[in-house]
Amino acid sequence: MSERAASPRDWRRLFESALLEQDHDELPKRLRGAKNAVMDRIEDSFDTASLAERKLLLAALNTISELQRLSKGERTPSQTASALGHAA
């Protein structure tokens, strides 16, 4: 279920809530809600967002994606290279 952001600032509240979540069982849900809200904001402000807001939204989306990957226990590219015996 998507937690659609009601206002332009709601994505920030959901993003911060996901960043501060300490319950590992609740974290995936928070990350999905934040990601949906960021994507909604990107879609809603496609023609009107400033460059600064676009950068902020992209950074938030990248952070959420990285947290989702880490929460699943996936390796970073440098960890994979190290495990294969290569310099990172």
The pTM assigned to this predicted structure is 0.74
- Residue among 23, 35, 20, 37 nearest 68 (CA): 35
The ranges assigned to domains in the chain are 10-83
Q: How far is CA 31 from the centre of its chain?
A: 6
> Residues 75, 86: contact at Cβ < 8 Å?
no
Query: Could you report the per-residue pLDDT of 4-39, keeping only the tens digit for each?
Result: 545 667 999 999 999 999 999 999 999 999 999 999
